Structure 1
Amino acid sequence: MSDQNTPATPGGDVPPVPPVPPAPPAPEQPAAAPAYEPPAAPAAPAYEPPAAPAAPAYAAPEYAAPPAPPAPPAYGQQAYGQQPYAAPAGPKTNVLAIVSLVSAFFISLVAIITGHIALSQIKKTGENGRGLAIAGLVLGYIGLVVGIILVVFWIIAFAFAASYGGYTTY
């Protein structure tokens, strides 16, 4: 059996192997470092104890007696921190005028009726709210007119649909 790694020679002999060269010399180890010695601790500084504090150079202040409390206010005057009597309320707003304006957005007929009653009461009593009553009346009348127009339109639309004959019963 022949080895495939060995080159074949014409005579079938194996060629001679050359000798191995000698190894180079090993480098020398450096000299060992001297052992580590920590530095010496510094010497503690010499401190002197602090001197005793000196006595204050001034005398303690003398306080005067507190002042007497103020006398109560005379009759009719307000003491400090108290609120004066409430100012009298001005003329109030007529309730029906408010109802007229609010109901104008929902039921126009109620707005018209309460608006007229509110104007009458405002003339007699001098209350505030005349503008609210007038606004309720205007919006009430506008709502009433729009409502009447819608009712007439629906009546005409149903009458036209009935006369057209689009709906029959057998």
Structure 2
Amino acid sequence: MSQQPAQYGYQNAPVQRPTETMAILAIIFAFVFPVLGIVFGVIGRKNIARNGNNGRGLATAGMWLGIVFTVLTLVYIVVVVAIVASSGMQTAP
């Protein structure tokens, strides 16, 4: 009984899909200019659904971080305006 050595053949490399550019821009702009993070996140998710590229998590994270930072910025502006308005309303006797 003779055993033949294992045959090693060439295997095809798995196809690596590229990461969606809009998803990368979404996560970057979420920290710099949050409104663009939201826009790029939505566009990136639509592109990923259409072409199957990688980066759905990046697009989703960029979109949500953009939303959170936009809300925090708006709350900050409202608080600052309220403080300025209340300090200007004091009347002198």
TM-score normalized by structure 2? Answer: 0.80
- Aligned residue among 145, 149, 161 for 2:87: 161
Larger relative contact order (CA 8 Å, sep ≥ 6): 2
- 1:143 equivalent among 66, 69, 74: 69
Q: How does 1:76-155 map to 2 (within 5 A)?
A: 87=13, 89-155=15-81
Q: Which runs of 5+ in 1 are unaligned?
A: 1-83
- 1:114-159 deviation digits (Å, cap 9, x = unpaired): 0000001001001100000011011111101100100100110111
More helix as a share of residues: 2
Structure 2 residue identity aligned to 1:141: I
Count of aligned positions: 82
Q: Tell me how far apart the structure 1 counterparts of residues 41 and 16 of structure 2 sit (CA, whole Å).
A: 22
Q: For 1:24-39, what aligned pairs fall within 5 Å after superposition?
A: none
State, as a whole percentage, how many aligned pairs show the same letter: 30
How many angstroms apart in 1 are the aligned matches of 2:85 and 2:35? Answer: 27
Q: CA deviation at 1:87?
A: 4.2
CA RMSD of aligned residues (A): 1.9
Structure 2: how far apart are the matches of 1:149 and 1:139?
A: 15
Q: Which has the larger radius of gyration?
A: 1
SS in 2 for 1:142: helix
- Mind listing any 5+ residue stretches in structure 2 that lack a counterpart? 1-9
| TM-score after normalising by structure 1 | 0.45
The change in CA–CA distance for 1:165 and 1:106 in structure 2 (over 3 A counts) is farther
For 1:27-73, what per-residue CA distance to the aligned partner results, in whole angstroms no more than 9, with x for missing partners? xxxxxxxxxxxxxxxxxxxxxxxxxxxxxxxxxxxxxxxxxxxxxxx
